[in-house]
Amino acid sequence: MKFKARLRLQAVHELVRVLQALEKTTERDVVLLLENPQAGGVKLIVQQQPHAAGALDVHVHFQQAHLFEDYRIVSKSDDTIGLSLEIGGLLRALRSAQKHSAELMLVKLSKKDVEVLAFDIYTAHTMALAQDVPVRVLNAVQLSNCSAPALQRGADSMGLWLPPALIRQMYFKADKMRALDSPIRIECKCPNLAAMGELDRASSQITLEVDNELVNMRATFTELERMREDPVTEAQANVNANDTHSGESQPNPRSAFVQRDVAVDGRYFARALYGYHMMMDPNRMGAAMSTTSTLLCGSLFLWSNCIMVHFPFESKLGSASYYVS
C-alpha cells in the first residue's frame, strides 16, 4: 500500500476552511478517502456507523486534480485507500504550511511506530518542516461502508435551490429552533414537475416549524425555485430505488403542487446550514449574498427518511453534502 503526492498550495487555504467547518460540526474523526486516478476524487467523510436516525453525516468531495499533483497510489482495494484521522492533526499540518509560506508541500503514507500521513513542507529558504499525522488504515469492509446513506426515494422526493442570502436567514431561524430541543419539521410545497412548464419556477416554499408543549415557532420562506432534475440525479446519491416509505403520499399528476414534510434533528440541521458559511470564502461572501446565479447556491433535497443540504465550493474545488435524519 503506497500513497504519495504533491499538494497544490492554492488548495491549502480551502482545505483549512473546510476542515474548520467539519471540526465545528462534529466531534468524530474524519475519514480521508483517497480514490484511484480513474475515479478522480478525494473525499472527507464524517459519518455514523451504522447509519441511524437522528444523525449527521457529512461527505465532502474534492476534484483530485485540483488538490494534488504527481498523485501516485497503490493498494489491493482497487488502488483506493481510506484513512481515519483526527481533524485537528490534519489542520495543524496545513496551518504550518500557511504560517511558513510554503512553496512546496509533499505528502505520503508512511509507517513509523504507527501509520502516519507524513507532510514535508519546504519554504523559500529551503527549510524543510516535517509534520506527521497519525492515521488508522481502513480495511476492505470499513472502506465499503464509506458511502452516503441509502435514501428512501418516493415519487414526491424533491430538490430546491437555496440562494446564499436565504441560507443565512434560514440558519438564524434554525439556530433559534435548535435551542428548543425538539425536532424541526421541514415542509416543502413545490410545483409538480409535470406542470412546471406552465407554472412560475420560483413558486416553491419551505416552512420550518417546532411545535411542543411550551411553544410553537414557525418560519416560511417563499419564492424558491424547484430543480427540474430529479434530486437523486442532481446529488449523485446512493439510492435504493425500490425502497419507498409505506406511508408517503404519491402526488397526483394532475395536481399543480406537491408537498413533502420531514422531521429532522434541529441541532444537526442548524449545523448543516452553518457549514455553508464556514466553507464560503469570507472575502467573497458579500458578492455571494447579492448574486442570483445558481453557481453559488446551495440546495436542499428531501427524501422519506432524511434531507440533504448540498453546497458547491465557489472555487470549483469540490462540494459538501450534509445528510440529516
Domains of the chain (ranges, CATH numbers): 2-144 (3.70.10.10), 151-324 (3.10.150.10)
pLDDT-based confidence at residue 249 (cuts at 50, 70, 90): very low
Whether residue 227 has pLDDT greater than 60: yes
Task: Count Cβ atoms below 10 Å from residue 12 Cβ, excluding itself.
Answer: 18
Q: What is the pLDDT of residues 115-141, one digit of tens each?
A: 999 999 998 876 788 999 999 999 988
Residues 6+ apart with CB under 8 A from 255: 192, 195
Residue 92 CA to residue 98 CA, distance in Å, equals: 10
pLDDT at 259: 84
pLDDT at 255: 64
% the chain with pLDDT above 90: 42
List the one residue out of 220, 221, 219, 207 whose CA is nearest residue 176: 219
pLDDT-based confidence at residue 287 (cuts at 50, 70, 90): low
pLDDT at 245: 35
Whether residue 296 has pLDDT greater than 50: yes
List the one residue out of 90, 68, 84 whose CA is nearest residue 17: 90
Highest mean pLDDT: which range of 50-54, 108-112, 250-254: 108-112
Read off the pTM: 0.84
Whether residue 151 has pLDDT greater than 80: no
The grid cell for 181 is 430541543
Distances (CA, A) of 11 to 137, 210, 297: 24, 40, 21
Question: Are the C-beta atoms of residues 207 and 224 closer than 8 Å to each other?
Answer: no
